[in-house]
Amino acid sequence: MRSLLFVPADSARKLEKGLQSGADALILDLEDSVAADAKPKAREMAAAFLRETRALPSAPRLIVRVNALDTGLTEADLDAVVREKPHAIMLPKACGGPDVQHIGIKIAVREAENDIEDGAIRILPIVTETARAMFELASYRGASHRLMAMTWGAEDLATDIGAETNRLDHGDYTPPFALARNLMLFAAASAGVDAIDTIFANFRDSSTLQRECIAARRDGFAGKMAIHPDQVAIINEVFSPAPEEIANAQKIVAAFATNPQAGVLAIDGAMIDRPHLVKAQRLLARAGL
């Protein structure tokens, strides 16, 4: 999943536009982009959208961001949407593996009530939104078979630690937020799931977005979240492997397939061993090949 576009679930206009955006996934938001009074309406609209859209042949993956576990709103959010079988539930303000297990149980109950296969609905936690969460990053490993990927957030974390800003003038993250990003990347790899980069809020600044996407892909992220349809094409482009990268990966996989006993091989004058094979396999898997 390269691009995941946030869509406030109480906006019919944006839901419609989201479908045309080309995003690999839409995140129907019931949390921060929806005012308290609009939550019931947003739940209904998210459920209706899931029902109508799921069956479309080229529908993107549909993920619902529910409200955090300590808000008292999560149960009603799940009651409204689980029966419509979203691909995943995004859990904001997640504080470690136990929170994933906690919401996993709530999802499991509703899957059972609605004749949905156990474990069908995955979980995508946002794992760096509080200072406390930073100390729980290692606990996602082995926490749940529902864990789909992990992502991080810099806005709520800034509020939690009292930071005046999370970016330097030229757009790079300040050290505390670069640390959050980087630790989250290790946490996702340790848990064996994809790392998804956080949003870039200045949606008119496509050059900084592109720079951030290139850096994210370089460091191992599989994709990036978006807040505006204009960001989707840039994200998709950067996170799509180029044809020559695909050809190269296929060459490596083929070389090991024809030499299953080999630990190391030479291809085009370069040494290729197991880490290269794993990398090539991952690139092909992410390209859907």
Q: By the criterion CB under 5 A, which residues form the site for Mg ion? A: 32, 156
Rule CB under 6 A: choose which of 2, 3, 8, 43 binds ligand COA: 8
Helix 274-286 to helix 243-258 angle (10° resolution) is 130
Q: Which of residues 224-243 bind ligand COA (CB under 6 A)?
A: 227-229
Does 125 interact with ligand COA (rule: CB under 6 A)? Answer: no
Residues in the interface with ligand COA (CB under 6 A) total 15
156 makes contact, choosing from Mg ion, ligand COA, none, with CB < 5 to 8 Å by partner type, with Mg ion
Rule CB under 6 A: choose which of 1, 7, 47, 191 binds ligand COA: 7
Does 6 interact with ligand COA (rule: CB under 6 A)? Answer: yes
8 Å CB contact between 267 and 58:
no
What is the C-alpha to C-alpha distance for residues 122 and 125, in angstroms, rounded to an integer? 10
29 makes contact, choosing from ligand COA, Mg ion, none, with CB < 5 to 8 Å by partner type, with ligand COA
Rule CB under 6 A: choose which of 1, 5, 127, 147 binds ligand COA: 5
- Give the shortest CB-32-to-ligand COA separation in angstroms: 5
Let me know the angle formed at the C-alpha of 195 by 206 and 255, rounded to the nearest 5 degrees. 100
Rule CB under 6 A: choose which of 1, 2, 3, 18 binds ligand COA: 18
Does 17 interact with ligand COA (rule: CB under 6 A)? Answer: yes
Does 103 interact with ligand COA (rule: CB under 6 A)? Answer: no
Structure token pair of residue 189:
């790899």
- Give the shortest CB-199-to-ligand COA separation in angstroms: 5
Instruction: Kindly list the residues in this chain that would bind ligand COA in the complex (CB under 6 A).
Output: 5-8, 13-14, 17-18, 29, 32-33, 199, 227-229
